[in-house]
Structure 1
Amino acid sequence: MNKHAGFRYHNCEICDKAFIQEHQIKCHMDIHTGFENHECEICGKEFRHKSDFKCHMDVHAGIKTHGCDICGKEFRTKIHLKYHIDVHAGIRNYKCDICDKAFSMKQQLKRHMDVHAGIRNYKCDICDKAFSTKHQLKGHMDLHAGIKNHECDICGKEFHTKSYLKRHMDIHAGIRNLKCDICGKDFCEKSELKRHMDVHAGIKNHKCAICGKEFYEKSVFECHVNVHAGIKNLKCDICDKAFSQKNLLEVHMEIHFDFNNHKCKICGKEVCQKKNFDRHMSLHAGIRTYKCDICGKTLSRKSYLNLHMVMHADFKQQKCDICGKIFTQENYLKTHVTIHADIKDHNCEICGKSFTLNRYLKSHMNVHVGIKNHKCDICGKLFTRIIGLKAHLNIHARI
């Protein structure tokens, strides 16, 4: 009865700690004397108490005598089973004072506090990368071993860790909990948001050592490097033609399957990809989404804006020696010089007429097919060429 009543008759003469039973104080005295007489023959670890030594030996033997009635998981000690039951019950008595995150076990909280303190005691023997928890290190080691034990039930994609799989499942579920504070765009993964923020900040961490071009994303940078190296890892299954970039292969595949089904009803132009077709239609609609921050001029394409920005920059002028006309780029000057040389390499297959530039031939072909893209805003009359519209507008100006 005295035992259950909490009476403690055996006091330690050194620290005055009290115990109920005599053998308890004997074990306690080993702490003060440093007496360690239980040594593990497998790993050499020593223990003061026989009970601790026995539990340790169960670890080497893989003995787990305490099973969970809910999920069947087994544990070495009764206390570990109790903590596990608390997980099923949702009991989390150990709370972090910094972030309020709660845990069911005290050692879980301790490991969590190491994260806040920046303590990383678990180091990778291969790359020297350090981690706060043993679980994190194990997941990292699976990367080196190429082990992917976590498979997506929807698309079959495999992942190294359960956390990676969970984030991947959010993509299928359409869950985007991470939001950009600048433009409001939503993301599934923290790494995606970080890369997106680099775009706003203008940070390009991946620079090509050959041409100096910089990139936001590592994957795009690696594809670019393959172009310089002549590496073409992406092969067409039909004709074996190889490409260095995925988008180039996708465009190529449309040739085999005759995907030129996006035809412009205004000018008759056929475009392979829908995104290119939509961009083409925006030209007819006069949509100009790209604006110059210096002069305010708007343009329909990003490439046009990049060329326009050269005009504002301290560029090297390209001047025609014959007429003195100035160009921003050397290829523009070369095209212009062909006009003075009267080189007409572009021939019309219908009437045989020749032109110095390809765009002149395209404009001429509109005459044969009856396409009139240039409309008079005053009377509504249509013209095949802009020069015809300009001449027509002079008539209205004289009225």
Structure 2
Amino acid sequence: MVIHTGVKNHNCDICGKAFTMTSSLKRHMDIHAGVKHHTCHVCGRAFTRKGVLKLHTDIHAGIKNHSCDVCGKAFTMTSNLERHKDIHAGVKHHTCHVCGRAFTRKGELKVHMDIHAGVKNHSCDVCGKAFTRKGHLKHHMVIHTGVKDHNCDICGKAFAMTSSLKRHMDIHAGVKHRTCHVCGRAFTRKGVLKLHMDIHAGIKNHSCDVCGKAFTQKGHLKLHILIHTGVRNHNCDVCGKAFTQQCDLKLHMVIHTGVKNHNCDICGKAFTMTGSLKRHMYIHAGVKNHTCHVCGRAFSQKGHLKLHMDIHAGIKNHTCDVCGKAFTKKENLMLHMDIHIGVRNHTCDVCGSAFTEKRSLMRHVDIHAGVKNHNCDVCGKTFSREDNLKCHMDMHAGIKNH
């Protein structure tokens, strides 16, 4: 009957909690003393109170008499149900002092704090990857099994976990919840945004063992390695040209369409790709970032420097089918072919003489202008053409070619 009176005259000297009966206070003191007389015969866990042990054994027995009225989820103990209801109510009493994130349960906050502390106690026995939460490790282990039971209804791609499929579906739906605060670009996945932020930060942790070039993303390094291996699995159906990456083949295919939507505002020249126009603009700007280490000559485009280096190396891969003369550049071979077919598109405005090459016309025009830039070091005589000077020098040397 004392319980019904509500009178609690027996107080704990340690925490101040009050009790109706002496026996209740005595059992409570066992908690402070760490005394646990009641042990579970299933798992060996010990408890201070007999009633708590009884609730615990209900867990092993699978007894769940307390159900949620909202979602129907059942619990062994009333206290667990009450905490669960806080989820539906949106109540979050436990807040992280580091980032301010709030949680419904104290245990969730504790696990969250391990993230800030860098604590990862759950490791994968296969690959050694560590996780903060046991549940995350469990999900990770599915990857090693190779089982992918969750398929995308749109593209058929399979995934090991439901969460991965769900994130994948956002791609098809065009949902992009994660936005970069620097440039405003939006992404479907948090991980992709993180990789993108590394670009702004200039972080490049993935380096090529062959040439040392560094990349922000591991996938980009993997594609780069194909360049060194010489593997080109993406072929053009039109001209047969092969590429390392599919994206390069896609850009190349635009060339065959003949569409040139990118125009130069200065000279009007049109280009198939934006990158080509950008490189072209360097010519007008006089920007020459690519310098030859042999002669010091600078070029606007890397490709032009490469062709120039072939001259120093004596590489001539373009050969005339008529006379066998070889050239470093393809365009030089094309100009040379005009000689064989008799094409003379460059005409002198003074005398009407026609020439195959523009440079031949320029040399000819110097004759009309009286320009003589080629001087004999022996007698001082000047000539309009270099070949005429050479013949003259042979005379001084006593060489008779005719």
TM-score bracket, normalised by the shorter chain, equals 0.5 to 0.7
- Determine the structure 1 residue equivalent to 2:99: 43
User: What secondary structure is seen at the aligned counterpart in 2 of 1:194?
Assistant: helix
On the 8 A contact 2:320/2:337 being kept in 1, the answer is no
On the 8 A contact 1:93/1:103 being kept in 2, the answer is yes
Whether 1:132 aligns to 2:200 is no
4+ runs deviating over 6 angstroms: 260-266, 280-286
Match of 2:125 among 49, 69, 82: 69
On the 8 A contact 1:251/1:272 being kept in 2, the answer is no
On the 8 A contact 2:148/2:160 being kept in 1, the answer is yes
- CA, structure 1 residues 209+110, in 2 after alignment: closer, same or farther (shift >3 Å)? same
- Determine the structure 1 residue equivalent to 2:328: 273
Deviation by residue 1:212-256 (Cα, 9 ceiling, x = unmatched): 101123443233212212222222223323222334434544555
Which one has the largest radius of gyration? 2
On the 8 A contact 2:319/2:333 being kept in 1, the answer is no
Equivalents in 2 of 1:261, 1:221: separation in Å?
Answer: 27
> 1:261, CA displacement in angstroms?
10
On the 8 A contact 1:120/1:131 being kept in 2, the answer is yes
- Determine the structure 2 residue equivalent to 1:147: 203
- Determine the structure 2 residue equivalent to 1:227: 283
User: What secondary structure is seen at the aligned counterpart in 1 of 2:212?
Assistant: coil
Match of 1:337 among 341, 352, 357: 352
> 1:116, CA displacement in angstroms?
0.9
User: What secondary structure is seen at the aligned counterpart in 2 of 1:127?
Assistant: coil
Alignment of 1:193-208 (within 5 A): 193-208=249-264
Equivalents in 1 of 2:365, 2:115: separation in Å?
Answer: 88
Alignment of 1:84-163 (within 5 A): 84-163=140-219
- CA, structure 1 residues 209+283, in 2 after alignment: closer, same or farther (shift >3 Å)? closer
On the 8 A contact 2:178/2:186 being kept in 1, the answer is yes
User: What secondary structure is seen at the aligned counterpart in 1 of 2:128?
Assistant: coil
> 1:210, CA displacement in angstroms?
0.2
Q: Which segment drifts farther, 104-113 or 245-254?
A: 245-254
Letter in 1 for 2:168: H
Letter in 1 for 2:127: C
Equivalents in 2 of 1:124, 1:34: separation in Å?
Answer: 28
Deviation by residue 1:67-92 (Cα, 9 ceiling, x = unmatched): 12222221011111112222222233
Alignment of 1:1-399 (within 5 A): 3-12=59-68, 16-180=72-236, 185-253=241-309, 256=312, 271-273=326-328, 275=330, 332=347, 334=349, 337=352, 345=367
> 1:276, CA displacement in angstroms?
6.4
Q: Which segment drifts farther, 91-100 or 56-65?
A: 91-100
- Determine the structure 1 residue equivalent to 2:360: none
Equivalents in 1 of 2:235, 2:95: separation in Å?
Answer: 56
Unaligned runs of 5+ in 1: 287-299, 305-326, 347-353, 359-367, 371-399
